[in-house]
Amino acid sequence: MSETRWEHFAHEADMGVRGFGESKAAAFEQAALAMAAVITDLEKLKPHEVIDINCEAPDDELLFVDWLNALVYEMSTRHMLFSRFEVYIEGQKLTGKAWGEKVDVVRHQPAVEVKGATYTGLKVSQDRAGNWLAQCVVDV
């Protein structure tokens, strides 16, 4: 039986993010939650505004890094934090949505700023039971 969840893993001065799901898209969504949870407590976020995100890459690993980096870009340029994600993957094209709100430093108390997803610890794979894993280290 599969479990959709996320977790962090330690990596020197940075932080690893890992998503698990019954589909590649679900694993990408869970890893995005893990990345958001590096910054703030997800319970403090209200998913008021939705942002569309589109990515395309030649393989699953690069698509995953592009997805996370697109989220980092949107957080930085829109001064937002996200707490809900929806991902659809067809071939090597990703169509996604991220729900969140403008940063409120007092309420959100951001711990760090994620600067980007890296290729360190990068892995997107499916196990024999059909469950997916998506992971990498994010630079904080």
Query: Domain segments of the chain: what residues?
Result: 5-139
Q: How many whole angstroms separate alpha carbon 89 and alpha carbon 124?
A: 13
- Threshold 0.85, pTM exceeds: yes
pLDDT at residue 2, rounded to an integer: 58
**What does each C-alpha distance from 51 to 39, 44, 65, 70, 114 come to in angstroms?**
19, 19, 18, 11, 18
Closest C-alpha to 99, from 36, 54, 5, 13: 36
pLDDT at residue 14, rounded to an integer: 85
Q: How confident is the model over 77-136, as pLDDT tens digits?
A: 999 999 999 999 999 999 999 999 999 999 999 988 999 999 999 999 999 999 999 999
CATH assignment of 5-139, among 3.10.20.90, 3.30.43.10, 3.30.1780.10, 3.55.10.10 = 3.55.10.10
pLDDT score of 1 more than 60: no
Q: How many whole angstroms separate alpha carbon 51 and alpha carbon 101?
A: 10
